[in-house]
Homo-oligomer: A and B are copies of this chain.
């Protein structure tokens, strides 16, 4: 029986102010639970989850109902170390399937790869994806004579880590979905690779195995996404939203006359759509969420108990639980749980020059390769009325942004930024008369 090893021990530090990568929730389910469900459907029964000290308790809680073995990696020593720890609880003679919950492949792909593994019990099988431009990952070295094509597995001789642009041995990179036919062999290879940099210990062990056994690359045809930076939440959301093939409206949802649900939309239990509200698919409206009068939600996900109040548009955005909006525009934004925006507050999501938006991650400016991006807002944060949030700004957890602030800088966790205005006071010399109203009545 194949044992799935799910690597969930990473620190998610580049995802701040959001929490753990594997535990991010989409359509009511964490990536980790979603991944476990997919593996279960693909026939996997034995699972080892590698956690870290920072998320071990949360992952146990999240998977309380799941039969899994947990291994905690005490220090962040890289993937090789994580895999080696996991293998300590796997029978040496059995195959292992190595994946990460925050790497989204098509559910059918996992099924197909595991099916191939049953046909080729001798082979290392690794997921492959064609890239159009250079990507700093592991490039596949096709076997002599192999004809890599998107629709069939092909023989490979190894993986070349980050060869540099121009030196790529093919236009195929590997994704973290690796089937190793013999756990004991992998453990040995990892033990052999313990000397040297821990950063590529796994890759060196994998290459050693691929030199000794037949190896196949299995092309992944459709889109994939991986959660590393916070704006990747939107890519993952998109991918998951695209999987909705028909409207599913819970029987307990109350959709007022004059409200509209169009396209592939999931409306969860206890939600309410007020008159004039519209939800345009693909979209997911979480349980207990209210979409107020004349509010619009499109191509977005809300968590549980959100309030998308009167006159608010939420477009292409991900919302956690208990997010409250009221007369806002929220576009291309990632808003974690328990956040409120005051009336009139809007998200800028396009630069003046319509150029690529950068975000500061761990002190460095990182290009998002997006020209439409709103903000990343951590949980517990409040924004006052009529604030203007510039594209790509990160607002930390438990922060406060005051009314009228034009926010172009990031706000750290637990900080409060308010506006100091200079006001001029004078006598009001111009007092309109009530009778003047009539003159304007016709011209509102």
Interface residues of A (CB under 8 A from B): 257-258, 260, 262, 275-276, 278, 290, 292-294, 296, 305, 307, 309-311, 313, 315-316, 322, 324, 326-327, 329, 331, 337-338, 342-344, 346-348, 350, 352-354, 371-372, 380, 382, 384-388, 390, 398-400, 402-406, 414-432, 434, 436-437, 439-441, 443-444
What are 13 A-B pairs with beta-carbon distances under 8 A? A290-B444, A294-B294, A311-B311, A326-B444, A329-B344, A343-B346, A348-B384, A348-B403, A386-B406, A400-B428, A415-B427, A417-B423, A419-B422
A297 → B minimal CB distance (Å) = 10
A425 → B minimal CB distance (Å) = 5
Given known A350-B440, A434-B322, A440-B354, contact A386–B344 (CB-CB < 8 A)? yes
The answer on a CB contact under 8 Å between B309 and A352 is no
Residue in contact with A425 in the complex, picked from B387, B388, B415, B427, CB distance below 8 Å: B415
A322 vs B310: C-alpha distance in the bound complex, in angstroms?
A: 24
A353 vs B337: C-alpha distance in the bound complex, in angstroms?
A: 17
The answer on a CB contact under 8 Å between A414 and B427 is yes
Most buried by B among A310, A311, A337: A310
Closest 8 CB pairs of A and B: A353-B430, A416-B428, A404-B406, A329-B343, A343-B346, A386-B388, A420-B422, A344-B346
Q: Which residues of chain B have C-beta atoms less than 8 A from A390's C-beta?
A: 403
Given known A329-B310, A416-B425, contact A316–B430 (CB-CB < 8 A)? no
Copies of this chain in the oligomer: 3
Interface of A is mostly: loop
A343 → B minimal CB distance (Å) = 4
A362 vs B248: C-alpha distance in the bound complex, in angstroms?
A: 58
Given known A348-B342, A403-B390, contact A260–B275 (CB-CB < 8 A)? yes
Complex: chain B residue closest to A397, CB-CB: B431
The answer on a CB contact under 8 Å between A432 and B382 is yes
The answer on a CB contact under 8 Å between B293 and A293 is no
A434 → B minimal CB distance (Å) = 5
A424 vs B400: C-alpha distance in the bound complex, in angstroms?
A: 11
The answer on a CB contact under 8 Å between A425 and B417 is yes
A346 vs B310: C-alpha distance in the bound complex, in angstroms?
A: 13
Q: Which residues of chain B have C-beta atoms less than 8 A from A309's C-beta?
A: 444
Complex: chain B residue closest to A382, CB-CB: B352
A237 → B minimal CB distance (Å) = 14
A346 vs B313: C-alpha distance in the bound complex, in angstroms?
A: 17
The answer on a CB contact under 8 Å between B337 and A310 is no
Complex: chain B residue closest to A293, CB-CB: B296
A258 vs B398: C-alpha distance in the bound complex, in angstroms?
A: 40
The answer on a CB contact under 8 Å between A380 and B432 is yes
A402 vs B424: C-alpha distance in the bound complex, in angstroms?
A: 10
- Known pairs A342-B348, A403-B406, A414-B431; list 6 more (Cβ under 8 Å): A293-B294, A313-B327, A346-B386, A371-B439, A388-B404, A417-B423
